Amino acid sequence: MRYPMKNVREIKFQIPTDIFLSVSMSEEKLINEMRKLVAFKYFSEGRLSSGKASELAQMSKAEFLVEASHMGTDILPYSDIELKRELACHEDNL
């Protein structure tokens, strides 16, 4: 499902024809796949939030997080120790 993007900037770049033909997909499908790959990459690096990455991938946030998890991307921004520490802080405030 496509989600409309607002305030967009168009970016163009060139791909050699033989490489384009090698991937055996339509231009639209290639663009969508590249958009998703960049979104997953930047999310996994912490450069984009899950909300912004899902917007770039043109997916709902839930769809994005499920697919990111299936791809092996850690969807929680905490290590085990950091998560335990964070949860302990919240328990103290309850």
Please report, for the chain, the start and end positions of each structural domain, with discontinuous segments joined by +.
17-92
Q: How many CB atoms lie within 10 A of CB 37?
A: 12
* b (16+ CB within 10 A) / e for 38-54: ebbeebbeeebebeebb
Predicted model pTM: 0.73
Per residue in 6-36, pLDDT tens? 788 888 989 999 999 999 999 999 999 999 9
Per residue in 41-68, pLDDT tens? 999 998 999 899 999 999 998 899 889 8
